[in-house]
Amino acid sequence: MGKVLDNKCPSCGAAIHFKPELGKFKCDYCDSEFSAEELKDMDKLKEEEIKETEKNKDNKSSDNYSNYVNYNCPDCGAEIIADENTAATFCVYCGNTSIIKNRLSGEFAPKYIIPFKMEKKKAIDAFKSLRKGRPLVPKSFVSEKNIEKITGVYIPFWLYDVNVSGTVNAKATKVKSWSVGDTRYTKTDYYNVVRSGSMAYHRVPVDGSTRFNNDMMNSIEPFDYGKLIDYNHAYLSGFLAEKYDVSKEDAFTDAKTRTLNSTKDQMLSSMIGYSSKTITSNNLESVSNETEYVLLPVWMVNVKYKDKFYLFAMNGESGKFIGNIPLDKKKALVMTFVVLIISFLICVGISYLIYCGGRA
């Protein structure tokens, strides 16, 4: 059975959680506050007592070998069932956060982390706002039951420093028109335009987990990487966390695509004075100079409605959020029917006024 760690209050022994508004860890029982550095020193002593000698493969069941691992909650002793990529989870019995330390060690140890800045209340308010101005959103979508599911998750990201260099070839035109008498003339000149150069990109992010939609994660960017601090597992207390399951080599494919497309756009925009321009070929190369593995904060909830899932996500550092929302088809039909009736009555009223006015 694997071992897990959580954060205890040095004063009373109760569970202690990170409070974004304070930038510190606070005990809800005795109100004691501690910095991450203080808890880190305590953790070093705790690690000396904990021996992680068993491997994950010994914890996996024979029926579902590649998906789940069992752990014991250090507080109540209950068994915790976790996905093999989960680095921090909750005990369903006592509610305390359990941090699976061997998931975040060695090659899976993040270099940096951005702690949550936005409180859960901000995420709840943003989630509720999805209904504003959208009368066709089902009431059940923003029900208390779904609001309770909003969870803070540290998402694994790869950050790449990338250099792109090479040449872009484009076909461009200049169009000139003029009139002589009643005749209109148009002249089109064609050009082959070449642009060469290089661009440097710093900390291009790519989601390192297959569990989360890349487009959704890209949509809640950017994160302020000036807020990155050295990783300390204490910041995971009170939140969920994932470890990467997409290697930095595989994830670089997305970073390469993004930087190549950005470079093409920049080179194309530098071709000034043409009526139209289209890239015909390029020999751009994208090279990664440095890679960093980090954890970034995201509030999210996945809501099932009519056998389909709708995801809401909010950047836990900036507050930027995005969500796809369902349409209540019954409401839509009723609203359409009401609009048709009102339109019909208005037309009848106008016709009656015209008829009466004509007779007068």
Chain segment 234-287, per-residue pLDDT in tens: 888 778 888 888 999 999 999 999 999 999 999 999 999 999 999 999 999 999
Same domain, residue pair 255 and 344: no
Question: What value does the mean pLDDT of the chain take?
Answer: 78
The secondary element (H helix, E strand) that includes residue 331 is helix 329-359
In a domain, 166, yes or no: yes
Comparing 56 with 288, which gets the higher pLDDT?
Answer: 288
Looking at the fold, whether 338 and 191 belong to one and the same domain comes out as: no
- Give the residue numbers spanning the domain of 321: 153-327
193-240: per-residue pLDDT in tens? 999 999 999 999 999 988 887 888 888 989 999 999 999 888 887 788
pLDDT band for position 102 (50/70/90)?
A: low
Position 191 in a domain:
yes
Mean pLDDT is lowest, of 81-85, 108-112, 163-167, 241-245, for 81-85
pLDDT surpasses 60 at 118:
yes
Are residue 322 and residue 342 in the same domain, yes or no?
Answer: no
| Cβ proximity of 194 and 177 under 8 Å | no
Among residues 162, 159, 158, 160, the alpha carbon closest in space to that of 260 is found at 162
pLDDT of residue 215: 82
| Surface-to-core class of residue 356, CB atoms within 10 Å of its CB (0-12 exposed, 13-18 middle, 19+ buried) | exposed
Pairing status of strand 276-282 against strand 151-180: antiparallel
263 lies in some domain: yes
Q: Give yes or no: residues 268 and 346 share one domain.
A: no
162 or 137: which carries more pLDDT confidence?
A: 162
pLDDT at 58 > cutoff 60: no
Asked if residue 351 and residue 312 are part of one domain, the reply reads no
CA distance 70 to 62: 12
Non-local (6+) Cβ contacts of 279 within 8 A are 168, 169, 170, 264, 268
User: How many structural domains are present in the chain?
Assistant: 2
Residue 210 lies in a domain: yes
Tell me whether residue 64 is in a domain. Answer: no
**Band of residue 114 on the pLDDT scale cut at 50, 70, 90:** very high
Same structural domain, 200 and 341: no
Q: Based on the fold, state whether residues 336 and 230 are members of the same structural domain.
A: no
pLDDT of residue 30: 62
Whether residue 178 lies inside any domain: the answer is: yes
Considering only 26-40, 50-64, 304-318, 340-354, which range has the smallest mean pLDDT?
A: 50-64
Rounded CA separation 253/248 (Å): 9
Q: Which position has the higher pLDDT, 135 or 172?
A: 172
pLDDT the model gives residue 237: 77
Residues 164 and 224 in one domain: yes
Which residue would you say has higher pLDDT here, 48 or 95?
Answer: 48
pLDDT(315) > 60: yes
Q: How many helices (H) and strands (E) does the chain have?
A: 6, 16
pLDDT band at 358 (very low <50, low <70, confident <90, very high): low
Give the residue-averaged pLDDT of 81-102: 59
Predicted confidence (pLDDT) at residue 317 exceeds the cutoff of 60: yes
Q: 290 and 341: one domain?
A: no
- State the pTM of this model: 0.69
Is residue 259 assigned to a domain?
yes
Checking if the pLDDT of 95 tops 90, the result is no
